[in-house]
Structure 1
């Protein structure tokens, strides 16, 4: 690998929100290093309504170094919540759920829909395959019928308060961390 340092950042300072170990590294060097240790988890988000939570979900995906994120539906999504972290990841677009499911099956990934619907299984008690794609819906309507029907498993996060659901970005963070607890090498 070429020297990881970016001459411009060395000369003018690095104000990016990157881990200290990546300070002054070029963008390409950071991505290349992350690629050497990405997890076997993909995440996908249905983008029918340009939900502002998509960016938050993508930022969480970066924090846990998932293999890639997938946008289903509208190609344009609200990147503001991602805080530029999407630039360090691999993004894929799928025009519809059928295309995403076909891609995931071809890659040998278990598709885990995350939504609190009747018949779903508590994520806290469910087996979570290492090679997985977690599929998240929009704030409010949740996952589409096509996504729920096409998933291998539908999981929900157990809740104990008075609200019917939680914020989509928070739910994604909990679900991704459940995968981390099962499969990541900690330490």
Structure 2
């Protein structure tokens, strides 16, 4: 796993849970889950006593049932993949939350939000609690962070000169950089990237949804680097 950015006020995630005043339950709760623990309590510090008492309705895989959030994050940290995901955030794009959710599903190292510190978390479905998310105020600051660590930046956009991702050898350690829905990546971001890749399409539409594109690209990385 690559070095994490230094802890600072820029980090947008917090280990503490927050509940919106309008909600009486966490947005992470689902209609599925497990009830209170039956039988002898497990002697394992990863288990959360409150969840053992009340049950676990969170949107987590079965392996993590009853585990505390901190224990889940620590376990994912032990096997995170070395690719990063970066998203420009100039227009409070609704897709960002969904991209964070996909990054969590594919165990991305870190998600980098470039631009506005506040981002729409609705689509994340609380997965940002288990995913490292940091903020960079502008493209220049973000690129400086990647250059200091020698991590190549791969822009994803269907602009002139872009290379099909289907034929590109993705580095194990890299940043997959995505733009906003509609305008795509800023010229500054494209100019600073080490390569510009596109997803080959076969229909009439010029582009696909930003969050869908991000999931496709992350899975492309998985297919190249994860042994099944």
TM-score normalized by the length of structure 2: 0.80
Pick one of 132, 154, 158 that aligns with 2:200. 158
Structure with higher strand content: 1
Separation in 2, partners of 1:26, 1:106:
34
- The unaligned stretches of length 5 or more in structure 2 are 1-43
Number of equivalent positions: 185
1:174 aligns with 2:216: yes
Q: Which residue of 2 aligns with 1:127?
A: 169
Q: What's the secondary structure of 1:70's corresponding residue?
A: strand
Q: Counterpart of 1:116 in 2: which secondary structure?
A: coil
Kindly report which structure 2 residues correspond to 1:82-93, keeping only aligned pairs within 5 A, or say none.
82-93=124-135
CA apart distance, 1:127: 1.3
- Select which of 30, 33, 41 maps to 2:83: 41
Equivalent position SS for 1:5: coil
Question: Could you tell me which residue of structure 2 aligns to residue 56 of structure 1?
Answer: 98
Q: Is the 8 A contact 1:5 1:25 kept in 2?
A: yes
2:122 counterpart of 1:71: no
Question: Which 4+ stretches in 1 moved above 6 angstroms?
Answer: none
SS of 1:172 mapped into structure 2 = helix
**SS in structure 2 at match of 1:30:** helix
Larger Rg over CA atoms: 2
Greater percentage in helix: 1
Q: Is the 8 A contact 1:42 1:69 kept in 2?
A: yes
Displacement, 1:57? Answer: 0.5
C-alpha distance in 2 between matches for 1:16 and 1:185: 29
Matched, 1:106 2:153: no
